[in-house]
Structure 1
Amino acid sequence: MFAISGGGTGGHLCVAKALAQELVHRGESLIYLGSNAGQDRAWFETSPLFVERYFLETSGVVNQSFAKKIPALWAQLRGAKKAMGVLKTHHVRALISVGGFSAGPGSLASILSRTPLFIHEQNAVRGALNKYTAPYAKRVFGSFAPDKFGPKFSQTPYPVQEIFFKKARIRNKIETILFLGGSQGASAINDFAILCARDLLQKGFKMIHQCGTLKFDRIAALYKGLGILDRVDLFAFDSNLVEKMHQADICVSRAGASSVWELCANNLPTMFIPYPYAAANHQYFNALEFEQEGLSQIIPQRSLRPPQLFEFIEWLQTPQEQGPLISQVSLRLRDKISSNGARVIVDQILADLQSQA
């Protein structure tokens, strides 16, 4: 029996799902340890990947005021006590933490009960929880530069779900632009899409816009006011988001780790607008490696203007010997990631457990 712990946001939960799918494929049984806060229940409450699911009363600690940190830490400790009982009840062989505040109780319970702990660090900057738990982990996995994470670090392909590779294609021209505001709706990207919409449509481009559930009515009203609502593929949230990616030729997106690597797996050239208030500015560093390799562009939110999108489009349309630049970028994105990330990680976990048996 394995336990997977962590979540809170979609980025952590994407990794949890990919690893869970691989472990189930190997015939392993799983339990999930998450939180009642965040998106954990929405993702896994009825998931057949797990034989049991536990949602604890925890919340984030980082970036809280001192007055809120104390009860948040106390909730983490109470959750750890319950998690220790869960690990014992299910005779858990190892716990895999995918990070986020949801992983706190499970990770602490793993350390206290001496259950082997494995960590997946999604971002290019180590998360707050992982800074404290990594010294006690058997191994830390990640896909960004290994020199930042210490001697227990193993660099692996990012565990992206297979569907993103199956729906991938090489882009050779730009007809459709996808704006990804995320399931919660990034106001900066939503507003940017509105500002760009008329010029994009006048120039013959098609638009797909994910604006988030809570923002849908406002954004729909703005498009209606411009008289173009019927010409934009606007949606709040779509569990089949990969199909929208498949239709698009370029993307405008935040730079959460899972988004960065899913777009890479889909071979979709992207202009990244990192969330400026992310812990340790990690979204910027997630996208930086791609920009340095000429595979994307980063635009700081504070300086975001419509002409920058058209400059990005023009850059990708630059003629090369073998076609426009977008073709080369899309091909190099394909070559940057392999589809076996979850398999490589699970192989290593099983080997580590076997070696200590």
Structure 2
Amino acid sequence: MFAITGGGTGGHLAIAKALAEEITLQGHKAIYIGSNIGQDKIWFEHSPLFEQRYFLDSTGVVNKKGIDKIFAINKQIKAAWVCRKIFKKHQVKCVISVGGFSAGGASMGAILCQIPLFIHEQNAVKGKLNEILTPFAKAIFGSFQNSSKNFIHTSYPVRQEFFSHSRVRTEIKHLLFLGGSQGAKAINDFAIQIAQEILNRGIKITHQCGTRDYERTKHAYEMLGILDKIDLFAFDNHLVARLASADICIARAGASSLWEMSANGVIGVFIPYPYAAKDHQYYNALAFTQEGLGILMRESQIDTQKVYEFLEFLQQDGNLAQKSQLLIDKITPNGAKEIIQHITSLVPCFSH
């Protein structure tokens, strides 16, 4: 029996889901251990992927101070003791942490019970919990470079549909702005600022602006007289088709978004979320842009001219097709399969 733990945000939970699907495909079973706050319950409370689902009373520690930090640590310790009983009940043979504060209790419980602990680090910079747990982990999986001795490089677990709709872009006909489900005001403001010029260049615009910023963004396009020329929407759970129709994307730099774009062959203009832990979105994007696969701008340093110049560069001498192909070559399907196969080869009860 596998135990998958971690979550809090969609990026972590998407990895948990991909791994659970692969575990099922390989004929094994899994339980899930998360938190009763965050998005864990929304994703997995009724998921048939798991034999059982546990949502413990835990919370983040890193951003807490004083007495709140002590209470948070105490909750994590209590969760670890609860997990010991869970592991015994289900005869858990290994624990996979996908990161986030939800993973704290089960990860510590695995160490206490001497159950092999495996970590998936989705970002270019290790999260605080993963940093603490690294010396105790049997292996750490990731798709960005990592200097840990027990690191194993694998492809990022991206849903097959992003590969299925993959294509090499040869010209820029369609630009997609992605602000996330909650919206990213800086990206929305930037879209409003350059929309007219983009349309003048004969490029179609699709813009996901988030639910909180929809009315303001809509009004801004109305004032510019171009609302009827913009495919504006608040949020869409099925972004594959929209990404597949785009030729370039202006977005944040969460790991899942970066690798989904890579699988699809879409080059990006990245504006990382400035308050991400350890500035990890910046370093995620940097790993791509240092290879010439997109451009990176701080939210406080958005430069319209830099974007126009990048568009012009891509439209010259087959540059767009070259970059798009390099992105596709950067990732292979079945990242989750690679990870589970590594684990089953490293844990004796699975390898025999």
- Report the counterpart of residue 166 of structure 1 in structure 2: 164
Distance across 1 between alignment mates of 2:313 and 2:103: 41
- Report the counterpart of residue 338 of structure 2 in structure 1: 344
Classify 1:144/1:178 alpha carbon distance in 2 versus 1 (closer, same or farther; 3 Å).
same
- Report the counterpart of residue 44 of structure 2 in structure 1: 44
* 1:235 corresponds to 2:233: yes
When normalised by structure 2's length, the TM-score is 0.94
Confirm or deny: 8 A CA contact 2:124 2:287 kept in the other structure. no
Q: CA deviation at 1:167?
A: 1.4
**Residue in structure 2 matching 1:282, options 280, 283, 287:** 280
Partner SS for 2:212: helix
Q: CA deviation at 1:327?
A: 0.4
* 1:215 corresponds to 2:209: no
Confirm or deny: 8 A CA contact 2:249 2:268 kept in the other structure. yes
Q: CA deviation at 1:67?
A: 4.1
**Residue in structure 2 matching 1:249, options 247, 250, 262:** 247
- Report the counterpart of residue 26 of structure 1 in structure 2: 26
Unmatched segments (≥5 aa) in structure 1: none
- The one-letter code of the counterpart of 1:68 is D
% identity of equivalent residues: 52
Query: What does the per-residue CA deviation read over 1:47-105, in whole Å, with 9 as the maximum and x for residues that have no partner?
Result: 22112222223222223333432222222222222222222221111110000111111
Query: What does the per-residue CA deviation read over 1:236-276, in whole Å, with 9 as the maximum and x for residues that have no partner?
Result: 22221111110100001111111111111111000111222
- The one-letter code of the counterpart of 2:91 is H
Confirm or deny: 8 A CA contact 1:124 1:286 kept in the other structure. yes
Q: CA deviation at 1:277?
A: 2.0
Classify 1:110/1:191 alpha carbon distance in 2 versus 1 (closer, same or farther; 3 Å).
same
Classify 1:40/1:223 alpha carbon distance in 2 versus 1 (closer, same or farther; 3 Å).
farther
Q: How does 1:78-93 map to 2 (within 5 A)?
A: 78-93=78-93
* 1:328 corresponds to 2:322: yes
Q: How does 1:1-357 map to 2 (within 5 A)?
A: 1-147=1-147, 150-319=148-317, 324-354=318-348
Distance across 1 between alignment mates of 2:34 and 2:329: 34
Confirm or deny: 8 A CA contact 1:249 1:268 kept in the other structure. yes
Partner SS for 1:274: coil
Partner SS for 1:83: helix
Confirm or deny: 8 A CA contact 1:7 1:13 kept in the other structure. yes
Partner SS for 2:347: helix
Classify 1:237/1:58 alpha carbon distance in 2 versus 1 (closer, same or farther; 3 Å).
farther
Confirm or deny: 8 A CA contact 1:2 1:29 kept in the other structure. yes
Partner SS for 1:230: helix
Confirm or deny: 8 A CA contact 1:3 1:94 kept in the other structure. yes
Classify 1:348/1:236 alpha carbon distance in 2 versus 1 (closer, same or farther; 3 Å).
same
Query: What does the per-residue CA deviation read over 1:285-342, in whole Å, with 9 as the maximum and x for residues that have no partner?
Result: 11212111111111111111333322221121122xxxx2100000111111111211
Which segments of structure 1 move beyond 4 Å, counting only runs of 4 or more?
none
Distance across 1 between alignment mates of 2:82 and 2:312: 56
When normalised by structure 1's length, the TM-score is 0.93
Distance across 2 between alignment mates of 1:68 and 1:201: 51
Partner SS for 1:146: coil
Confirm or deny: 8 A CA contact 2:267 2:293 kept in the other structure. yes
Q: CA deviation at 1:121?
A: 0.7
User: Relative to structure 2, which stretch is displaced further, 261-270 or 298-307?
Assistant: 298-307
Distance across 2 between alignment mates of 1:266 and 1:241: 12
Confirm or deny: 8 A CA contact 1:192 1:305 kept in the other structure. no
Confirm or deny: 8 A CA contact 1:186 1:212 kept in the other structure. yes
- The one-letter code of the counterpart of 1:137 is A
Distance across 1 between alignment mates of 2:285 and 2:190: 19
Distance across 2 between alignment mates of 1:51 and 1:216: 40
Unmatched segments (≥5 aa) in structure 2: none
Distance across 2 between alignment mates of 1:37 and 1:187: 25
Distance across 1 between alignment mates of 2:87 and 2:220: 50
